[in-house]
Chain A
């Protein structure tokens, strides 16, 4: 896609410049995201719905597929327009290592914190800022094969909470979540390389 054709497309993309500035995507990537958006948007309505995501077969094979889809749609919102789509996708850009740790700058969308937040809200369905044991159990159940007996699941979940729960309130708060994962290279885990 040469730059000349892309600039003509860019005019069609809503809020292109704002998005580029905010999310750090390049123009070419934005274009590709837009094309993908249009591809997913079968009815050409300009907005995506959860069914459009569900129709992707490989996503159907994902054990936590419905949660992933749900995280694109905040509660109460049925439709997703392109800028929101891009903003969520921006979470998965690889972290920019050269970003100066300037206190005055806004935290970029793809910082480690934001990535962790995204993962956290996958667990935390009711949005109360804590992962309860039930919520953890649900995710665990989804990710494990059917042969695992229920008691094992319970003890695994129990152990997970024990390990992470520092203030002994039986739930995992975001800070505890972050702390438990401090040794993990989140940037590598939660980035899509070609979105750089």
Chain B
């Protein structure tokens, strides 16, 4: 591993150097050009008068006839976008750099690394006496940089847990931020009163303003630390929500205090007005957000013919929400957040799968770039600007920030714990308090303070100091501290393998039974909203308001047509199909000699178990890393493996329903996803083995007999091959009866093409667009008793699908159809 890294690191270092040099040249070039500019007007002014007099002797020689310039360089023309691109590229290279070595990001948060790189660049620039580009002003920040960050927060907010815990989240974020701002502001003001520190010219408003800036915490960065230890699940959503809402609160407070800072005298009416304004701003922002969210949802109802620009609507509408809220002086942050939350649910149903993916990726990308740039810039500015350093102010800022946050969390938890089903322990609270790193917004707000604030430099310095302090110190130390606090009382090795397996089984059982029970808390408003949603909102806003089965929604949500990614995952040392191995092994079970297990073996087993056992449901919804898209791979894996059993039982259900209700078939039929589906994925996988091997497999499985448990189920003929006609998805032409392409879920009883056995059997499904041809399969699928879980026969093969010469002619024909219809 080390030897592999070296060339990569060297290449990267080379790249960095080149980029630095390039940047410096740009700045150098910029300086030169600015010097040359004043010369030109002088030239032209001297040349012109002489040209008017044709006969008089000319002091200056005629301008030579200019030839066509073969090679010119016009830097000023492209300067701004060029430099911007270079900065972004440099920051992105930095990100690539530290992800090469994975361990770094575990111990050091990314913001740390970005600031560090920024510091280095700043040092270089400073030594060359360059100035950083003066791009970060209030205008640019609030109109261009803040919206993507907040949109990202809002869009990836897990809505259900959020709304279920909304009280707690709002409590911590809003009240917490207020507490922090006012507390820190007042204490700093008290400190300023001491003459000895020389800070008396900072009045109360300015202190409060500064305090509101530095209370914007960004605890999301600490989430990946918390994931590894057993912290209360509610903490996740509180952290997420806090990071989101205290941006809104901070910006609102900021604008309020900036206004106050200009006033010389603040009266009590102003205070009341301020509070009133706070509410108006918040609620107004939310209203606008909801309005634009619904508008976006409604628009996407009609975009099925213009799929390419679907993502655009999401961005335009949310940006509009932001700007309109800004126009009225309302909370634009809240506006864009609520727009994103409102919009997401409906848009993701209306829009094609690819647009959905595009939207997510672009949102993440924009947010990451912006935040990266801000941190980077922070590093650069730290070195290059003039600082005003006042020991007292800065040290006290740090101290107070720490104290007030800790106190705040403590007090808030004490008040709210009795109302919660699962109270926050001290460990949770400590994690929450200590994980409060300051984020990019803090710096940006400080940097863009209006110049009318006196001692602005001091405030900027102080905010930079606190950011660097929290990010570096707290960010790096939080993991060891939390792990130290979290020493499990029972040493893990004392748990036997048995206990570990069985406890996990039981946890899964309980999670399953809880799902069976459903939600039991008093969700009166949620029920009302859901009814309203079903009856009115969905009808208006969704293009296809079929009450789709929630399983279908689940498949869609997890984007299961990308199943091939998972199927391609490299296996350990599986040489043959595991199912075969296991079956033959089971026969020889009794004759296998018992192995002696050493302690090292046992430890290795514990290791494997802890790393590979699926976590229970709540934990699989990962909110973890702010910089990555949410990780669904494990859930997808589970769903695929259970896919066949799910599908079978759903098919049986639909069969029953069909018999009962005689609904016209076409309506219930869901066409395939564009680009293929799981079925095609399976078929193609199997096909590429060559037909003969498949036959061998299926024969073998048949021969080894159905396991005694599934004797109640009929064994269907395994060599049944039906042709497949893949339904053209509705993405291209709106097909009336099959509206939205859905994940392959209902295929209806199309005869005995379903196998009792799982995937190794090659029985391509028949999909017929007109159900009139299909046969009534006489199979009543009995209720599947617990059976062998689908054996893991997705063998890793890298063959390209579609180039398979061997195999059954029928298979080949279907393969050609697939080859044509697969449009990845």
Which residue numbers of A lie inside 8 Å of B, CB to CB?
32-33, 36, 39-40, 43, 49-71, 73, 75-76, 78, 89, 92, 118-119, 122-123, 125-126, 132-134, 136-152, 154-156, 158-160, 162-164, 170, 177, 180-181, 183-184, 186, 189-195
Residue among A136, A145, A149 making CB contact with B637, cutoff 8 Å:
A145
30 sampled A-B residue pairs with Cβ under 8 A: A32-B520, A58-B511, A58-B515, A59-B516, A60-B554, A61-B617, A61-B638, A63-B614, A63-B642, A66-B642, A66-B645, A66-B784, A75-B785, A89-B517, A119-B502, A125-B709, A132-B589, A134-B589, A136-B501, A137-B582, A142-B641, A143-B504, A144-B613, A147-B569, A147-B612, A155-B605, A162-B594, A163-B496, A180-B496, A181-B502
**Distance in angstroms between the alpha carbons of A54 and B551 in the assembled complex:** 8
Contact: B635 with A119, CB < 8 Å? no
Closest beta carbon of chain B to A123's beta carbon, Å: 8
**Distance in angstroms between the alpha carbons of A143 and B509 in the assembled complex:** 12
Q: A150 to chain B: which residues have CB within 8 Å?
A: 572, 574, 578, 581-582
Q: B573 to chain A: which residues have CB within 8 Å?
A: 149, 151
Contact: A56 with B597, CB < 8 Å? no
Closest beta carbon of chain A to B159's beta carbon, Å: 15
**Distance in angstroms between the alpha carbons of A68 and B509 in the assembled complex:** 6
Contact: B602 with A119, CB < 8 Å? no
Closest beta carbon of chain A to B714's beta carbon, Å: 15
Contact: A184 with B554, CB < 8 Å? no
B663 at the interface (CB under 8 A from A): no
**Distance in angstroms between the alpha carbons of A164 and B498 in the assembled complex:** 7
Residue of B nearest to A73 (CB): B783
**Distance in angstroms between the alpha carbons of A72 and B510 in the assembled complex:** 13
Residue among B569, B590, B597 making CB contact with A155, cutoff 8 Å:
B597
Q: B586 to chain A: which residues have CB within 8 Å?
A: 133-134, 137
Contact: A189 with B503, CB < 8 Å? yes
Contact: B608 with A148, CB < 8 Å? yes
Closest beta carbon of chain B to A182's beta carbon, Å: 10
**Distance in angstroms between the alpha carbons of A124 and B656 in the assembled complex:** 30
Which residue numbers of B lie inside 8 Å of A, CB to CB?
421, 496-499, 501-518, 520-521, 549-551, 553-554, 566, 569-574, 578, 581-582, 585-586, 589-590, 594-595, 597, 601-602, 605, 608-609, 612-614, 617, 620, 634-635, 637-639, 641-642, 645-646, 649-650, 652-653, 656-657, 660, 708-709, 712, 782-789, 792, 794
**Distance in angstroms between the alpha carbons of A32 and B517 in the assembled complex:** 9
Contact: A54 with B498, CB < 8 Å? no
Closest beta carbon of chain B to A6's beta carbon, Å: 15
Contact: B499 with A180, CB < 8 Å? yes
**Distance in angstroms between the alpha carbons of A40 and B551 in the assembled complex:** 14
Contact: A146 with B512, CB < 8 Å? no
Q: B506 to chain A: which residues have CB within 8 Å?
A: 119, 186, 189-190
* CB-CB under 8 A for A170 and B581, given A50-B649, A147-B569, A192-B510: no
* CB-CB under 8 A for A189 and B507, given A56-B550, A194-B520: yes
Q: A58 to chain B: which residues have CB within 8 Å?
A: 511, 515, 617
Contact: B571 with A147, CB < 8 Å? yes
**Distance in angstroms between the alpha carbons of A86 and B785 in the assembled complex:** 20
**Distance in angstroms between the alpha carbons of A163 and B520 in the assembled complex:** 40
Closest beta carbon of chain A to B62's beta carbon, Å: 80
Contact: A63 with B508, CB < 8 Å? yes
Residue among B518, B608, B794 making CB contact with A39, cutoff 8 Å:
B518
In order of increasing CB-CB distance, the 5 nearest A-B pairs are: A149-B572, A70-B786, A51-B653, A68-B512, A58-B515
Q: A76 to chain B: which residues have CB within 8 Å?
A: 712
Contact: A36 with B518, CB < 8 Å? yes
Q: A160 to chain B: which residues have CB within 8 Å?
A: 496-498, 501
Q: A149 to chain B: which residues have CB within 8 Å?
A: 571-574
Residue of B nearest to A123 (CB): B505
* CB-CB under 8 A for A155 and B601, given A57-B553, A57-B554, A141-B789: yes
Query: A50, A154, A180, A186: which has the most chain B beta carbons within 10 Å?
Result: A50
Main secondary structure of the interface of B (DSSP, over half): helix
Residue of A nearest to B635 (CB): A61
Q: A57 to chain B: which residues have CB within 8 Å?
A: 550-551, 553-554
**Distance in angstroms between the alpha carbons of A96 and B410 in the assembled complex:** 33
Residue among A138, A145, A156 making CB contact with B497, cutoff 8 Å:
A156
Q: A71 to chain B: which residues have CB within 8 Å?
A: 786
Q: B505 to chain A: which residues have CB within 8 Å?
A: 64, 119, 122-123, 139, 143
Contact: A61 with B620, CB < 8 Å? yes
Contact: B509 with A122, CB < 8 Å? yes
* CB-CB under 8 A for A78 and B783, given A155-B597, A190-B506: yes
Residue of B nearest to A125 (CB): B709
Query: A36, A61, A125: which has the most chain B beta carbons within 10 Å?
Result: A61
Contact: A163 with B498, CB < 8 Å? yes
Besides A158-B597, A164-B496, 5 more A-B contacts (Cβ < 8 Å) are: A54-B645, A61-B554, A78-B783, A152-B608, A158-B594
Q: B551 to chain A: which residues have CB within 8 Å?
A: 54-55, 57, 60
Contact: A142 with B789, CB < 8 Å? yes
Residue among B496, B514, B554 making CB contact with A192, cutoff 8 Å:
B514
Residue of B nearest to A136 (CB): B501
Residue of B nearest to A154 (CB): B585
Residue among A54, A159, A186, A193 making CB contact with B597, cutoff 8 Å:
A159
**Distance in angstroms between the alpha carbons of A32 and B570 in the assembled complex:** 46
Query: B501, B641, B652, B657: which has the most chain A beta carbons within 10 Å?
Result: B501
Closest beta carbon of chain A to B378's beta carbon, Å: 40
**Distance in angstroms between the alpha carbons of A75 and B708 in the assembled complex:** 13
* CB-CB under 8 A for A162 and B597, given A150-B581, A189-B507: yes
Contact: B637 with A146, CB < 8 Å? yes
Residue of A nearest to B651 (CB): A51
Q: B511 to chain A: which residues have CB within 8 Å?
A: 58, 62
**Distance in angstroms between the alpha carbons of A51 and B637 in the assembled complex:** 21
**Distance in angstroms between the alpha carbons of A132 and B578 in the assembled complex:** 19
Closest beta carbon of chain A to B308's beta carbon, Å: 31
**Distance in angstroms between the alpha carbons of A62 and B641 in the assembled complex:** 11
Contact: B613 with A180, CB < 8 Å? no
Residue among A65, A139, A184 making CB contact with B512, cutoff 8 Å:
A65
**Distance in angstroms between the alpha carbons of A20 and B503 in the assembled complex:** 30
* CB-CB under 8 A for A156 and B785, given A66-B645, A150-B582, A193-B421: no
**Distance in angstroms between the alpha carbons of A64 and B570 in the assembled complex:** 23
**Distance in angstroms between the alpha carbons of A70 and B786 in the assembled complex:** 5
Closest beta carbon of chain B to A5's beta carbon, Å: 14
**Distance in angstroms between the alpha carbons of A89 and B570 in the assembled complex:** 40
Closest beta carbon of chain A to B446's beta carbon, Å: 44
Q: A137 to chain B: which residues have CB within 8 Å?
A: 582, 586
**Distance in angstroms between the alpha carbons of A63 and B614 in the assembled complex:** 8
Q: B498 to chain A: which residues have CB within 8 Å?
A: 160, 163-164, 180-181
Closest beta carbon of chain B to A180's beta carbon, Å: 5
Closest beta carbon of chain A to B703's beta carbon, Å: 18
Contact: B787 with A66, CB < 8 Å? yes
Closest beta carbon of chain A to B384's beta carbon, Å: 48
Q: A180 to chain B: which residues have CB within 8 Å?
A: 496, 498-499, 502
Q: A51 to chain B: which residues have CB within 8 Å?
A: 649-650, 652-653, 656, 783
Contact: A55 with B650, CB < 8 Å? yes
**Distance in angstroms between the alpha carbons of A139 and B505 in the assembled complex:** 8
Closest beta carbon of chain A to B585's beta carbon, Å: 7
Q: B569 to chain A: which residues have CB within 8 Å?
A: 146-147
Closest beta carbon of chain B to A4's beta carbon, Å: 18
Closest beta carbon of chain B to A126's beta carbon, Å: 6
